[in-house]
Amino acid sequence: MLTQQRKAHILAVLKDTGQVVAKTLSEQLNLSEDTIRRDLRELAAEGLLQRVHGGALPASPALADFSGRQAIATDGKKAIGRAAAAMIRPGQVVFVDGGTTAVQLVRHLQPGLEATIVTHSPSIAVELVAHPGMTVEMIGGRLFKHSVVAVGASAIESIARFRADIYFMGVTGIHPEIGLTTGDSEEAVIKRALSRHAAETIVLASSEKLGAASPYVILPMNEAQGLVVERSTAEETIAAYRKAGMTVTKA
């Protein structure tokens, strides 16, 4: 059996049943668990599934619902969220994007901290109900269901009323030459507006985003000042971003 076939099979089972177990697969395919584990590791590195002890779970947001996704947020995203949360100083006004990494950010906000969070994500808003120190300002607009964020002209208009100290931006791709990209044009517009109304834009990028590009360009790289990546990211990967003038933080 060819490696590619095997991997395709694993992904098919995963899609079908919502989980795979290393041992079961090895028996089904008549291969050692080592080989399966290697496959799983590689598929995980490609972001096609999420590795867990004993097997793997879907990585694709579509399969697990939003809260499910959050439960299985990778350690990397958690670390990035924590590092970003630590950057917020008391009294600051902060734009927080939608997305799973941003949820991790608000979950790791220091309990005593007092600041203002401005967000166009209802999920983030609901999450912040738990934090007594945070004043929350919601940006309204038409709900873009895929990402669960407000978009549209009225959102842009609302954003223009704020002047934030920091904007924590989520992206689906950050490429040294192409810049910051995302998968929806409306979202790109919103992100651009948020960046324009913040003194500093910090990009939160889990490892699978580095070097990737999506259809819609948000901004060229040099318009973002900071980048937070996982601790395990290779120095040579980071170098290109530093060269573009970004301050790179390893979470």
Partner DNA sequence: CTTGACTCTGCACGAAGTTGCACGCTTTAT
Partner DNA sequence: ATAAAGCGTGCAACTTCGTGCAGAGTCAAG
Q: Which residues bind DNA (CB under 7 A)?
A: 1-3, 6, 21-23, 30-35, 37-38, 41, 51-55
Q: Among DNA, a second copy, none, what binds residue 32 when CB lies within 5 to 8 Å by partner kind?
A: DNA
Tell me if 9 sits within 8 A of 43, measured CB to CB: no
Q: Coil, strand, or helix at residue 205? A: coil
Q: Name which of 113 and 148 has its Cβ closer to a second copy.
A: 148
Q: Is 196 in the site for a second copy (CB under 8 A)?
A: no
Q: Is 160 in the site for a second copy (CB under 8 A)?
A: no
Instruction: Characterize 55-78 residue by residue with b for buried, 16 or more Cβ atoms within 10 angstroms of its Cβ, and e for exposed.
Output: bbbbbeeeebeeeebbeebbebbb
Q: Name which of 44 and 138 has its Cβ closer to DNA.
A: 44
Q: Among a second copy, DNA, none, what binds residue 35 when CB lies within 5 to 8 Å by partner kind?
A: DNA
Structure tokens at 181: 């990209």
Residue among 195, 178, 179 at smallest CA distance from 97:
195
Q: Coil, strand, or helix at residue 60? A: coil
Q: Name which of 117 and 202 has its Cβ closer to a second copy.
A: 117
- At 103, which helix (H) or strand (E)? helix 100-107
Distances (CA, A) of 180 to 50, 122, 189: 24, 23, 12
Q: Name which of 159 and 169 has its Cβ closer to a second copy.
A: 159
Q: Is 99 in the site for a second copy (CB under 8 A)?
A: no
Q: Among a second copy, DNA, none, what binds residue 82 when CB lies within 5 to 8 Å by partner kind?
A: none
CA distance 217 to 204: 16
Residues that bind a second copy (CB under 8 A): 2-5, 7-8, 11-12, 15, 19, 21, 47-48, 50, 52-55, 57, 59-68, 71-72, 107-108, 120, 122-123, 125-126, 128-132, 135-143, 145, 148, 150, 154-155, 158, 161
